Amino acid sequence: MSIDATTQPDATASDTAPAKSVGRPTKLTPEMADALCQARQNGHSITGAADLCGVHRATLLRWLAEGEADDAPEVFRDFRDRFTRAHAHVIGSLVNAAIQDALGGSVVKKVERELPDGSVIREEQVTPPNGKVALEVASRLNPDWRGVKAVELSGPDGGPVEVAHEVEILEGLVSRVEAVKARKAAEAVSRCDDVA
């Protein structure tokens, strides 16, 4: 038996009314949202923030996912925005600290000395530039730039490479170098994917 559109009853007011939510009220209170955002801004991971506030990590991730939807309730959208900004704030602070360490010049000690003639000398001890951190920051901020690592070639059984002008030997060396470059590039891409 088929029903065509002409025989269906008209929609009533109860059919068009918004549906009421079913289930328990959310534990995402304004106080809980504040505590989670503060924990995140203090540098805690998602799991750490959840543990500190007494909620399960999966619950926190669900709240964040609910805040992504276009039709998400305001409480979830607002929480996701605040939580994301808190994370961006701590990352920005860490990057600034790394750049300051790379550049050096942070005051670590201040001394005032009074000379016998009554004059005062003020001295400051500052940190030197940290080249290792500078290189790491540069490689993280610009993925196309990275430090160059040496590639070592060896002959049979780890011995020296025989130097000759034979085309086969040179082609073999070129293919070995290309294989090492390809492997290193694949490792770099894998590391970038893991970081992202």
- Of the two residues 148 and 109, the one the predictor is more confident about is 109
**What's the rounded Cα separation, in Å, for the pair 19 and 16?**
9
For 136-146, the pLDDT digits (tens) are 888 777 777 66
For 84-102, the pLDDT digits (tens) are 999 999 888 888 888 888 8
Look-up of token digits 């951190």? 133
Q: Which helix (H) or strand (E) holds 26?
A: none
In the chain, the amino acid numbered 14 is S
Q: Assign residue 86 a region (left: φ > 0; alpha: ψ between -120 and 50; beta: otherwise).
A: alpha
Three-class SS of residue 72? Answer: coil
Number of C-beta neighbours around residue 63 at 10 A: 23
